[in-house]
Structure 1
Amino acid sequence: MASVASAAGPASAPYCGITWGSRDKTANPSTSPRLVNVRAGRHDCFDRLVLDVRGGNVTGYWVRYVATMTEDASGRVVPLRGGAKLSITAQAPAYDAAGRATYRVANRAELVNVAGFRTFRQVAWAGSFEGTTSVGLGVRARLPFRVFTLPGRLVVDVAHLW
C-alpha cells in the first residue's frame, strides 16, 4: 500500500529557531533605575532595541503591539512609521529624584537612527511619567519579539521574519 503525504505538508522549522511569538510581554516592577540611553543594533535574524539604565536593573516592563502609540500622561498620538507599532514601557524614569533629566531627548521622533534596518522603521519618545518611561517602536510588520533584561539594560528583539 502506498503512503499518502499529509495535506499540510511537512512541518517547517521556525525561522532562525525563533519561537518567541507576538503576544504581550510583562514583568512586575520591584526596582526603579534611571534611563540613561536608548540604542539599537542589527543582527542576522532580528533587530535589537536596548534601553540602558543606571542605579539598578529593570525589573518592570510592559511591551506589546498597539493600534496607536500614545504619549504618557497627555495621551497625544505618537506617529510611527511601519506596518505595526510596539509600545515599550520600562519601570525606569528618565529623571532622578530631584526631577533632573537622566536621559536627554534630542529628537523625539527619531531617538535612534534605524535607517537600513530590516525590521525597525522608527524609534520615538512617548514620555517619562510617574516612574516609567515609554518608547514607541515602529516595525515593518507584526513580527515575533522577545524581551529580556541584562544588568543595566532592557532588551527588545524583533525577528526579521516569522
Structure 2
Amino acid sequence: MHKRLVALLVAVLAVFTLAPVASAQSTPTLSNIRTGQHVGFSRVVLDLSGLPTEHRVSEVTSVSHCASGNPIAVAGPGINEILSVTLIGAAAHDDNGNLTYTGSQNFATPGLSHIRGVALTCDFEATLGVAVGYSNPYSWHRVFTLTSPNRLVIDVGL
C-alpha cells in the first residue's frame, strides 16, 4: 500500500511538473491610426489587435509624455483644446519590444473640420495615450470601442 501511494504521488508530481503553463494573453497592440471627416464631426480611429481593458478621456490644455514627463506640442494649427485618451491594457509595441505602429507619432490632420492634430503621448507599461487637438472649445466628443475589427473611435464635432 505504501509503495502504491508513493508511486501515485510521484505520478501526480510528474504531471504537474511537466504540464505546460498557459501564458498570459499579450497586451492588445496598435497597428494604425486613421482619420476621416463625416457630416458634422471629425473622427480618429485607432486600429487594435484586441480591446483595451478600459479607456479614460479628459479635456486638457496641454499634454506630456507619460514616461519622461516631457511636454508634447500636438501638431496642427489653431489647437485650443486637447482631448487626452488613455487606453489601459494596450500598447504600440509587441511583447518583444518591436513597434506595432510605425506611423507618425505627432501629425496635423488637414482636411478635418474639427480635429487639428493627433499625437501619441504614452506607450509605457501597457498604457497607450493619444492626444487629439481640436479648435473649438464648445465641441462635443465621444469615445467608444468597436469590434470586428477591434478599434477605438474618437469623434469630435459641433
- Give me the TM-score of the superposition, normalised by structure 1: 0.72
Higher helix share: 2
- Counterpart of 1:72 in structure 2 is 66
SS in 2 for 1:141: coil
The question of 1:150 aligning with 2:156 is answered no
How many percent identity over aligned positions? 37
The question of 1:83 aligning with 2:80 is answered yes
Distance 1:72 1:40 in 2: 24
For 1:69, the aligned partner's letter is V
Distance 1:123 1:129 in 2: 18
Distance 2:136 2:67 in 1: 27
| Consecutive aligned runs of 4 or more in structure 1 exceeding 6 Å deviation | none
Check whether the contact 1:34–1:93 (CA below 8 A) recurs between aligned residues: yes
- Counterpart of 1:123 in structure 2 is 118
SS in 2 for 1:62: strand
- Count the aligned residue pairs: 126
For 1:144, the aligned partner's letter is W
- Counterpart of 2:93 in structure 1 is 95
1:102 CA displacement? 1.0
1:58 CA displacement? 2.9
Distance 2:106 2:29 in 1: 21
1:83 CA displacement? 1.0
Mapping for residues 1-162 of structure 1, pairs under 5 Å: 32-54=27-49, 56-80=50-74, 81=76, 82-91=79-88, 92-105=90-103, 107-110=104-107, 114-142=109-137, 143-151=139-147, 152-159=150-157, 161=158
User: Considering only CA atoms, is the larger Rg found in Structure 1 or Structure 2?
Assistant: 2
- Counterpart of 1:13 in structure 2 is none
Check whether the contact 2:61–2:80 (CA below 8 A) recurs between aligned residues: no
Distance 1:108 1:149 in 2: 21
Deviations 1:51-96 (A, max 9, x none): 1101x22341111111211111111111124110111111311111
For 2:43, the aligned partner's letter is R
Distance 1:59 1:119 in 2: 28
Check whether the contact 1:120–1:138 (CA below 8 A) recurs between aligned residues: yes
Check whether the contact 1:59–1:149 (CA below 8 A) recurs between aligned residues: no
For 1:64, the aligned partner's letter is S
Distance 2:34 2:86 in 1: 15
Distance 1:35 1:108 in 2: 12
Check whether the contact 1:78–1:136 (CA below 8 A) recurs between aligned residues: no
